[in-house]
């Protein structure tokens, strides 16, 4: 588990806006520490593709593996048949991730897994991605409550742990 990242998230709760601001201002060193936790549990991939907003996390993951980060707008540098990791900062409904998945598949890339710094368990992101037969790993799972965001307490055994 990456305690500095979890502590940073905890300091922002229960406010969604504070959490978003905290993630935007998170130093690269903390993304790097989180990436090292993920690196051990991810499948072998040739490159990393970031959902817009997750560039810092994607760069840290790529650096931990010694692989390139693909440009999300053009997929410049991608080679057909490459296995890639899709990286997102905040997995909610999964629609942005599905758009990136379709874009990658249009360029004949194979998305092997999705790495998410934050996962919202009230939303359908995990389900939508797992229906595409993707491995979904998240560092921190948050649940939305009437009082705001809280750490998820329900942990089904089917959820793989990245941290």
What does the pLDDT look like over 93-148, one tens digit per residue? 999 999 999 999 999 999 999 999 999 999 999 999 999 999 999 999 999 999 98
Q: d(Cα 59, Cα 118) in Å, to the nearest integer?
A: 17
> What is the SS3 assignment for 137?
strand
Residue found under tokens 């048949």: 81
CATH numbers and ranges of domains, the chain: 3-147 (3.40.50.2020)
| Sign, CA torsion 50/12/14/16 | negative
Task: Output the pTM of the full model.
Answer: 0.88
For the four alpha carbons of 43, 162, 111 and 77, in that order, the dihedral sign comes to: negative
């Amino acid at each position: 588990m990456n305690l500095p990242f979890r502590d940073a998230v905890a300091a922002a709760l229960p406010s969604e806006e504070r959490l978003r601001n905290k993630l935007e201002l998170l130093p690269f060193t903390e993304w790097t520490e989180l990436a090292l936790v993920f690196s051990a549990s991810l499948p072998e991939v040739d490159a990393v593709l970031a959902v817009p907003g997750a560039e810092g996390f994607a760069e840290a993951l790529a650096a931990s593996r010694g692989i390139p980060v693909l440009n999300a707008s053009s997929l410049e540098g991608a080679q057909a048949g490459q296995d890639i990791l899709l990286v997102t900062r905040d997995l909610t409904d999964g629609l942005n991730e599905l758009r990136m998945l379709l874009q990658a598949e249009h360029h004949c890339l194979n998305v092997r897994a999705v790495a998410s710094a934050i996962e919202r368990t009230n939303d359908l992101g995990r389900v939508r991605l797992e229906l595409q037969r993707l491995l979904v790993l998240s560092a921190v799972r948050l649940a939305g409550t009437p009082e705001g965001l809280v750490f998820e307490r329900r942990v089904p055994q089917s959820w793989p742990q990245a941290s």
